[in-house]
């Protein structure tokens, strides 16, 4: 590993450490300074989170993450979502099947309890 790659790796490592430290600072400050107005804490947290995102996106892993999110958004546009009617029928079918299976399991459970109690002599 030459000196240029070593400096790059150290820079990336420092960026991740700074991002983690800033995130921990947001959490700790929100816990410690709860008496400060929520709006002020939200503005400061938003500013620091924006800084963290900027720092993380300047690394290769951050760029890969951004590319992944972008591709995921593109894929969601390609999905053919079911209509309201299809969703309603599917939900109704599943509900009916669950009710029927629950009733069958209840009947089977009571039957098995009756048979076992009859065989063990605990039921007259």
Q: Given pLDDT bands bounded at 50, 70 and 90, which one contains residue 124?
A: low
Q: How high does pLDDT run on average in the chain? A: 90
- pTM for this predicted structure: 0.52
pLDDT of residue 1: 60
* 69 or 121: which leads in pLDDT: 69
pLDDT of residue 71: 94
Distance separating alpha carbons of residues 71 and 66, to the nearest angstrom: 9
Report the pLDDT value the prediction gives residue 67, as an integer from 0 to 100: 93
- Positive or negative, the CA dihedral 66, 68, 74, 76 is negative
Asked whether the predicted pLDDT for residue 2 surpasses 80, the reply is no
Mean pLDDT along residues 41-46: 90
Would you state the pLDDT for residue 3?
A: 78
All structural domains of the chain with their residue ranges: 1-79, 81-124
Q: Dihedral sign, CA of 115, 117, 121, 124? A: negative
For 4-19, the pLDDT digits (tens) are 787 888 888 898 899 8
């Amino acid at each position: 590993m030459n000196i240029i790659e070593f400096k790059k790796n150290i820079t990336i490592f420092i960026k991740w450490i700074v991002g983690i430290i800033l995130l921990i600072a947001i959490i700790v400050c929100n816990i410690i300074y709860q008496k400060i107005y929520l709006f002020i804490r939200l503005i400061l947290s938003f500013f620091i989170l924006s800084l963290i995102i900027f720092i993380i996106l300047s690394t290769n892993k951050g760029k890969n993450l951004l590319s992944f999110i972008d591709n995921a958004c593109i894929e969601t546009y390609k999905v053919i979502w079911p209509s309201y009617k299809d969703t309603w029928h599917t939900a109704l079918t599943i509900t009916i099947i669950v009710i029927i299976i629950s009733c069958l399991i209840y009947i089977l459970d009571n039957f098995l309890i009756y048979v076992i109690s009859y065989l063990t002599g605990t039921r007259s």
